[in-house]
Structures are given as structure tokens and as C-alpha cells.
Chain A
Amino acid sequence: MRVINVALPKGRLGERVCRLFEKSGLSIPGILEPGRKLIFEREFADLNFALRLFWVKPFDVPVYVERGAADIGISAKDILLEREPDVYELLDLKTGICTMSVAALENFADDNSRTLRVATEFPNIARKYYAGLGRDIDIICLRGSVELAPILNLSDVIVDIVETGTTLRENNLRVINNIANLSARLIANKSAYKFKTQEINNIIGKLRT
């Protein structure tokens, strides 16, 4: 019986995905119970495979999959866009839906004659987006509370994930442009998918219904 290693992102998205696994007939006992255990296993005799799920930091999921420590993984699209791993992206789980957007203060007006200061947690996404527009930018790389940057005049705009827009509104910011639509994606290691095709396709089939 083949074991399929699955990297799950710790946190809210991972919990949602676990419930999705449960609904699809792939429930793993104990996985959502509080505790420090990181690895969970279950055999599915009828499907002729076993699942070994483990929790990792969301930003690390693509690394585990690209390097083959996990055969498949669930990752938010923003992390895939930022890290650009060499993996297959096999399924849109249609959960954790949000957008990658450019936002600025309500009264912001772009001045093309100066370098645009962009604060973001996603330097690669920001760089690529503005390179596509041919806009000269300076990137201010932050690890959170990105909304603060324009208020303190640390940056002109921010490139960030927008879910409901509440945080933006409360801080007097508005979305100027959408860069990409985001949601949770199922990714697979390219080599693992060659040799565990049937098992991985089975999992995808179940998650899809």
C-alpha cells in the first residue's frame, strides 16, 4: 500500500481544508484536536493507499512539495505566486477565497514622475506586477501590519491580500487594482505524481465532489 504524504498549512486555511477532507470521505481522526502532534496517519483499505498528513508553516508548504518531502500539499495561491515552486497545481479547492490587491490611502493620486514606494509581504509578486506595467518602484518588505505603511508615510501603496476589505476601510485605505484571485490550491511534486498518479488522482476526485 502506497503512502501519500500531504503537507497542510497550519492555521485557519488548514483547518478548513481538513474539514473538506472529512466531507470528502478522507477524514483523519484527531487531526483537528488541539495539541502539539504534527503527523497524522490513516489507512484507506478500500482506496488502497494511506494518508500521512503533517502541519507545516503555510509559507513552507511549496518547499516540502517541491523537494519531495510531501507528495502533495495544500497551499494558498499567494504563496505559490510569491515562491514560484516547480510543482503541478492540480486543483482549485475554492476555499480561502480572496484577492491580491494594490491599496492606498483614500486621497492617493499616483505621480508617475517619482519612484513608487510599495510596502508588502510579497516582494516577488509586487516586483513582477510593476515590472509588467513598466513602473519604477521601491519595495519595502514587511512581515505584517502592512496597512500601517501608507498611514505613516512609509510607503505610497501596499500590495496585500484583501479578503473582505474591512481592515482597509477601517484604516482609510481603498483598493486601486486587483493583481490576482487567490484561493487554496492542491499542488503535487512533479516526480511523485508520475509514480503515485492513481492515488493522487483518487484524492483529487474525492475533493472535487
Chain B
Amino acid sequence: MLRDLNTLPKYLRPEEFAALKLRELYSDYGYSFYRMGKFEEYDLYAKNKEFLISQDIITFTDIDGKLMALKPDVTLSIVKHLRENPENVLQKFFYDEKIYRTSRNIRAFREISQVGLECIGAFDEACVREVLELALKSLEKISDGKEYVLDVSHLGLLSSLLSRIDNTNLRADILKFVSEKNSHEIANLQIPELEKNLLVKLINVSGISELREIFRGNYYLAQFENLLGNFGGNVRVDFSVISDLNYYNGIVFRGFIDGVPESILSGGQYDNLMRRMGHENSHAIGFAVYLDKLGGNHESY
């Protein structure tokens, strides 16, 4: 068995090499390899459209006439095919798969490499911390000595602020403006001054201490503080990281590497998806790394 990554053949492309390094990392942490051998029925994706980053799906008809799809995402399959009841046990998986999505710029499907992991079931804060740690280590492994950051926000905290606004259209606008760090549009909104000031503060938050002012006495705050406490300067609080509230709750995060124009890692806690898939009392957290995005900026690792 190849244990030493330095002995790998020279013809491996940088992203393939990076994928192997990540697989080794996750496997060392006790995650087991998940392989998608089959296709899913289209229905699985159609029912959870908002969970998917791109909502276009390649469909085809199977031999028996069922409408099937090429996977636009791996997480949904992992959750669907759990062997054990996630309400009782903790299950950890990693994967290295091709997924099929459209990009916003060219209106066409592309095959994208995605390496990721999921931690599902009866878990505690230590698991969340482990996943964050692995996200950070993943960035370190693929950053080739360049600077990297992991931006983390907490949807529970954000929702507690949003819940003070009654109008759902306004809430959608607020989410958009927060994700754009757009303080001037927040200032123009027809909402009470108190909430306005808190939102503007939230946009500009850079450390946990500033959060104490905004979320005094909030249930999630101590949890969030506790979670981020031991990480160094590469983990930053940034509430512009937002994922769909119908699926995600708790922390959500994005990873960036200097010189790569988009986020290269994306993840979060998705208990709400578990609930939608029939697992009332279980938790789940995971992330995916998009190695294609390393692209031309990273010739060698």
C-alpha cells in the first residue's frame, strides 16, 4: 500500500495529488471512504433543490423507465443511504467524487472534482471542533505555503437577529446585504434603528469580543465562543458567510487561499436537512473542497 505520498508517480496532476493528500488526512482522523457507485433518482434532488448550489440537474431515463440524475452533490446521497440510524450512532465519511453542475458564467454543465467529508449522527461540540480543525488542515495542505483563512459564521446567531424582522421579503434582502457586507443598503432599509445598528455592527465584526456587544445573553454565543476559542488567527469570524437557512443551522464556513479568487472550501452544520430527510433528532456537519478552483494559480504543491 502506498503510504508515502512522496513516492507517487510524477504524472499525477496537482489537483489529483491534493485530493490524495486530503484523503490521507481524513482517513487518519478515522473517517471511512464513501463511494457513490449508483445513480440517484431525480426526485432526491428535486425535493431538496435549495440545498444544491446549482439547481440544474442532468437527468436520464434508466432501463426500467425511472427518471434518474447525475449527482450534483454527494451529501444528499450519504444522508439517504446511512446504514445506521443517525439518532444513535456517530458516522464519519469522506469522499472524492465527480459532480455535475452548471456554472453561472457559461450556461452549460461541467464535471467538477469534489473532495469532502461528513460527520453525521449523535455528535457533540468536540465533533464540530474536529470538522473545523480538518477544514483548516485541508486549507493548509493545499495552500502551498500561501496565506489562507477560514471564515466562520453562526446561523443561529444570525437568525436570532433576523427573527426580530417580521417581513419575509425584508429578511431576504437583509441576508443578501449581509453576505455582500453592504452596510449602506442596510442603512436605507425600513427597519427599526436598533436592528439597523446591530446589523451594521455584525457586518463589520472581526473578532469574537465584538459579538458580545451584539448578542448579549444569546444562547448560541457561549457555544460559538467556546468553539472558536482555541483556533489561531487563520480562523476568523465573518457573518458574510451565509447558507440556506432551510438546510443549515449552527456554524457555516468558507475557506480562502491567497491568490485564488473564489472560496475553495465550503461547509456547515445541516441538522435541518437531516430533519427534512426524516432524522428528527440527529446532527450533521460537513464540508467540501473544490480542487478545480486551485487552477492556474497553483502550478505546483
Residues of A within 8 A of B (CB): 66-68, 86-92, 181, 189-192, 194-195
Check if A189 sits within 8 Å of B180, measured CB to CB: no
In this assembly, does B90 line the interface, its C-beta being within 8 Å of a C-beta of chain A?
Answer: no
| Nearest CB on A from B203, distance (A) | 10
By a CB distance below 8 angstroms, the chain B residues around A68 are: 260-262
Beyond the given A87-B180, A190-B256, please list 19 additional residue pairs across the A-B interface where CB-CB is below 8 A.
Answer: A66-B261, A68-B260, A68-B262, A88-B180, A88-B182, A89-B181, A89-B185, A90-B181, A190-B262, A190-B263, A191-B257, A191-B258, A191-B262, A194-B149, A194-B258, A195-B147, A195-B149, A195-B256, A195-B258
In this assembly, does B153 line the interface, its C-beta being within 8 Å of a C-beta of chain A?
Answer: no
By a CB distance below 8 angstroms, the chain A residues around B256 are: 190-191, 194-195
Supposing A89-B182, A91-B184, A92-B184 touch, asked if A194 and B240 sit within 8 A by C-beta, the answer is no
In the complex the two chains form, what is the Cα distance from A86 to B179 in whole Å? Answer: 9
| Nearest CB on B from A166, distance (A) | 26
In the complex the two chains form, what is the Cα distance from A88 to B204 in whole Å? Answer: 12
B181 and chain A: residue at smallest CB distance? A88
- Interface SS of chain B: helix, strand, loop or mixed? loop
By a CB distance below 8 angstroms, the chain A residues around B263 are: 190-191
23 A–B pairs (Cβ distance < 8 Å), ordered by A: A66-B261, A67-B261, A68-B262, A88-B181, A88-B182, A88-B240, A89-B181, A89-B182, A89-B184, A90-B181, A91-B184, A92-B184, A189-B261, A190-B261, A190-B262, A191-B256, A191-B261, A191-B262, A194-B149, A194-B151, A195-B147, A195-B256, A195-B258
A183 and chain B: residue at smallest CB distance? B184
| Nearest CB on A from B204, distance (A) | 10
Q: Which 10 A-B pairs have the closest CB atoms?
A: A68-B261, A92-B184, A195-B258, A89-B182, A88-B181, A89-B180, A191-B256, A194-B256, A194-B149, A191-B261
| Nearest CB on A from B243, distance (A) | 14
B180 and chain A: residue at smallest CB distance? A89
By a CB distance below 8 angstroms, the chain B residues around A194 are: 149, 151, 236, 256, 258
By a CB distance below 8 angstroms, the chain A residues around B188 are: 181
By a CB distance below 8 angstroms, the chain A residues around B180 are: 87-89
By a CB distance below 8 angstroms, the chain A residues around B258 are: 191, 194-195
By a CB distance below 8 angstroms, the chain B residues around A192 are: 261
| Nearest CB on A from B40, distance (A) | 28
| Nearest CB on B from A34, distance (A) | 33
By a CB distance below 8 angstroms, the chain B residues around A66 are: 261
In the complex the two chains form, what is the Cα distance from A181 to B189 in whole Å? Answer: 12
By a CB distance below 8 angstroms, the chain A residues around B185 are: 89
Q: Pick from B149, B182, B240 the residue with the most CB of A within 10 Å.
A: B182
By a CB distance below 8 angstroms, the chain B residues around A87 are: 180
By a CB distance below 8 angstroms, the chain B residues around A91 are: 184
By a CB distance below 8 angstroms, the chain A residues around B236 are: 194
Q: Pick from B147, B180, B260 the residue with the most CB of A within 10 Å.
A: B180
B206 and chain A: residue at smallest CB distance? A197
B256-299 interface bits toward A, Cβ cutoff 8 Å, 1 = contact, 0 = none? 11111111000000000000000000000000000000000000
In the complex the two chains form, what is the Cα distance from A91 to B200 in whole Å? Answer: 13
| Nearest CB on B from A130, distance (A) | 16
In the complex the two chains form, what is the Cα distance from A92 to B258 in whole Å? Answer: 26
By a CB distance below 8 angstroms, the chain A residues around B240 are: 88, 190
B114-157 interface bits toward A, Cβ cutoff 8 Å, 1 = contact, 0 = none? 00000000000000000000000000000000010101000000
By a CB distance below 8 angstroms, the chain B residues around A67 are: 261
| Nearest CB on B from A68, distance (A) | 3
A68 and chain B: residue at smallest CB distance? B261
| Nearest CB on B from A60, distance (A) | 13
A188 and chain B: residue at smallest CB distance? B181
In the complex the two chains form, what is the Cα distance from A91 to B185 in whole Å? Answer: 9
In the complex the two chains form, what is the Cα distance from A12 to B257 in whole Å? Answer: 36
B240 and chain A: residue at smallest CB distance? A88
| Nearest CB on B from A29, distance (A) | 29
Q: Pick from A66, A90, A194 the residue with the most CB of B within 10 Å.
A: A194
Question: Which B168-211 residues have C-beta < 8 A from chain A?
Answer: 180-182, 184-185, 188
In the complex the two chains form, what is the Cα distance from A89 to B257 in whole Å? Answer: 20
B188 and chain A: residue at smallest CB distance? A181
| Nearest CB on B from A179, distance (A) | 14
| Nearest CB on B from A38, distance (A) | 21
B182 and chain A: residue at smallest CB distance? A89
| Nearest CB on B from A67, distance (A) | 6
